[in-house]
A and B are shown apart, each in its own frame.
Chain A
Amino acid sequence: MTAFNRRDFLKAAAAAGALSLTACATPGSGKPIARVVVIGGGYGGATAAKYLRLWAPEIEVVLVERNPAFVSCPLSNLVLGGSRTIEDLTTGYDALVKRYGVKLVRDTATAVDPDKRQVRLANGDPLAYDRLIVSPGIEFLYDDIPGLAGADAQARVLHAWKAGPQTVALRKQLEAIRDGGVYALHIPKAPYRCPPGPYERAAQVAFYFKQHKPRSKVLILDSNPDITSKKGLFLKAWNERYPGIVEYRPNSELIDVDARTLTAKLVSGDVKADVLNVVPPQRAGDIAKQAGLITANNRWAGIDWLTTESLAVKGIHVLGDATLSAPGMPKSGFMANNHAKIAADAVIALLTGRAVNPSPIIANTCYSFVSDTDVVHVASVHKYDAEKKTLVAVQGAGGLSSAANELEGKYAHAWAKNIWADALL
C-alpha cells in the first residue's frame, strides 16, 4: 500500500467513523495503519520513535540516524572535567529496535519531497511516509567565522558542542597544555543549544586545572552582554571554587579566528590562547533547511506547539533544538524529549482521527555541574496558551537551586540515567 493510499484509506475510514483501530492493532502483527519516518535519533527523535510505538503499535516507525550510537550532550562537560568518559554517555539503538519494533535505518536523510511524501537518503532507497518527524539538532554557522572555514582549522579550534569525537579531542587538548596556559571559550549570541552549557564547561575546565594545572586560566569570551543562565549560581561557583582561574568577559563579539595562532579576534581586541574553543552560532540542522522548514531568521523552524507540525510544510513535525523556541523555553535535551511526546501524541491523533490535545503541558530541568559532584539547576513548566497560540512558561513555577549541592549532583546523574532510558531503552 503506498503512502498516498494509506492516507486515503485513513481519511475515508475516519469519515465513515466505523474504523475500529483496536481490532486491527495487535502489536507486532497485522498491517500497519500508517508509517511515520523520524529523522534524527537524538533526545527528540529517539523519544518520538519509542513513544509512537509505545502508544500506537499499529503505526510503523522508521528512524533514520547516521551515527552508530547516541552520545549525550548533557554530562559531556564532565568528560572535559575528567569525572566521566564518553563511553559513560553512550547508548545504542538496539532496544528501540528489539523492544519497540522501531525500524532503524543507518543513513543520512538528504532531502524531503513533501508532495510525494518521501525522504531521500544518501545511500538507501527513498522512504515513503504518512507523517514525518524531523529532529535534526543544530548545524554550525561557520560562514560567520571565515578563519574556521576549512577542516584543518575546525580540527584545531574545536566546538565540542556535539558530544562525541570533538569532546574527546578537546579533553586531549586540555591535557596537553602547560600549567599556566590559557583555555579560552567563545560563546555565541543567544539563542544557542544549552544556555547554561558554556558556563558549566568553564567550571569543569577550571575543576580540571585546579587539580592538575593550578596556574592555568579559563577565559570566558561571551558574545552576550551578560551570563545568559543561572548567573548568580555560576558567579558564586567560579569565585568561591576557582578563584584566580576563571575570568568572565561579556560583550566579547567575535569577528574572526586565526586558527594557526589560536587567536580570537574580538570587537574588543585580539585574545591569544593555548586552547581555543569556539562554539559557533547555530541554526536548525541541514535537513530542516533543505526541506524548507526554516521560518525564523534563516535559522530556526517555526512550529505549531499543539502538534509540533511545521508552520511551513504540512505533514512534517519538527522537534528539539531546531525549533524556533517558544518564549522562555531553552534549547535542551529535556525539552526535546518533551517536544517528542507532544509530537507522538499529536501524530497518533492526526493519523487516527482523534482530536488533538488542546492543552499540552511540558517541563524542563537543566542540571549543571560546577565540580565533579556539586550541581545547580534551572527548572520551568510550559503550558499552551490558546490566545497566544504558543507554549508559555508558567508564572510562579520553576526556578533555580538555592546553592550548588551534592544531592542535586546525585539527581543529575539519576536524571541522565532516566532520560536515556526514557528515550532509548
Chain B
Amino acid sequence: MTRTNRTLTAALLGAAVLGAGAAHGAEDPQVRVWAAACATCHGTHGASAGGVPTIAGEPGDKLYKLLQEFKDGSRPATVMHQHAKGYTDEELQRLAAYFSRQRP
C-alpha cells in the first residue's frame, strides 16, 4: 500500500466517522472545506475555469509530489511555494487525495 493509499484509507475512515451526521457521508467534510480554499484559484472542486491548472482528477501521488516540491522549494513557482509551506505533510496528503477523487 502506498503512502497516498494509506492516507486515502485514513481519510475515508475519517469521513465515515465525521460524516455520520452529515448529509453527504461519502466525503470527509474537513478536507472538503480545506480544499475549498484551493478552489478560489483552481476552480470549484479543483476544476479550473481556465488559466490555472485543473487539479481535479489528477493522481493523488502526483499531486502530493508536486505539493512537496513546492513546499521544499525544489519546484519553481510564482506563489504555490508560499501556499504549500502553510500546510503539514499530512494536510497536503489529504488534499491531494481529495482532489484525485474529484471530477475534472
Interface residues of A in 383-417 (CB under 8 A from B): 383, 394, 396-399, 401, 405, 407-408, 410-411, 413-415, 417
A377–B79 touching, CB < 8 Å = yes
Contact (Cβ within 8 A) B21 A353 = yes
Within B27-69, which residues are at the interface with A (CB < 8 Å)?
Answer: 29-30, 32-34, 36-44, 48-52
State A338–B42 Cα separation when bound (angstroms): 13
Interface stretch, picked from A1-9, A197-205, A344-352, is A344-352
Contact, CB under 8 Å: A419 / B41:
yes
- Which residues of chain A are within 8 angstroms of B37 by Cβ–Cβ distance? 338, 341, 361-363
Q: Mark B1-36, 1 if CB is under 8 A from A, else 0.
A: 000000000000000001111111100011011101
Cβ–Cβ contact B22 & A381, under 8 A: no
**B102 adjacent to chain A (CB < 8 Å):** no
Minimum Cβ distance to chain B for residue A402 (Å): 9
> Are A357 and B44 within 8 A (Cβ)?
no
Give Cα A357–Cα B38 distance, bound, in whole angstroms.
17
Q: Which residues of B contact A413 (CB under 8 A)?
A: 51
**Count of residues in B whose CB is under 8 Å from the partner chain:** 36
CB atoms of A411 and B86 under 8 A apart: no
A260-278 interface (Cβ within 8 A of B) = none
- Bound complex: CA of A381 vs CA of B79, how far in Å? 11
Residues in chain A near residue B41, CB distance under 8 A:
365, 411, 414-415, 418-419
The reply to whether the CB of A421 lies closer than 8 angstroms to some CB of chain B is yes
Q: Are A21 and B48 in contact (CB under 8 A)?
A: no
Query: Nearest chain A CB to B93's CB is how many angstroms away?
Result: 14
B86 to chain A minimum Cβ distance, whole angstroms, is 3
- Contact partner of A357 among B29, B39, B82, CB < 8 A? B29
A40 to chain B, nearest CB (A): 18
| B residues in contact with A398, CB < 8 Å | 82-83, 85-86
Q: Which of B29, B30, B51, B79 contacts A410 (CB 8 A)?
A: B51
The 28 listed contacts between A and B (C-beta, < 8 Å) are A21-B23, A22-B24, A55-B24, A55-B32, A56-B23, A338-B37, A345-B36, A348-B29, A349-B29, A355-B21, A357-B33, A361-B34, A363-B40, A363-B83, A363-B86, A379-B83, A381-B83, A381-B87, A383-B86, A398-B86, A401-B78, A411-B51, A413-B51, A415-B52, A418-B42, A418-B48, A418-B51, A421-B43
Listed in ascending order, the chain B residues whose CB lies under 8 Å from chain A are: 18-25, 29-30, 32-34, 36-44, 48-52, 78-79, 82-87, 91
Add 15 more A-B contacts to A349-B29, A363-B86, A377-B79 (CB < 8 A): A21-B22, A22-B25, A341-B33, A341-B39, A348-B22, A354-B21, A361-B37, A365-B79, A379-B83, A381-B82, A394-B86, A397-B84, A397-B86, A415-B51, A422-B39
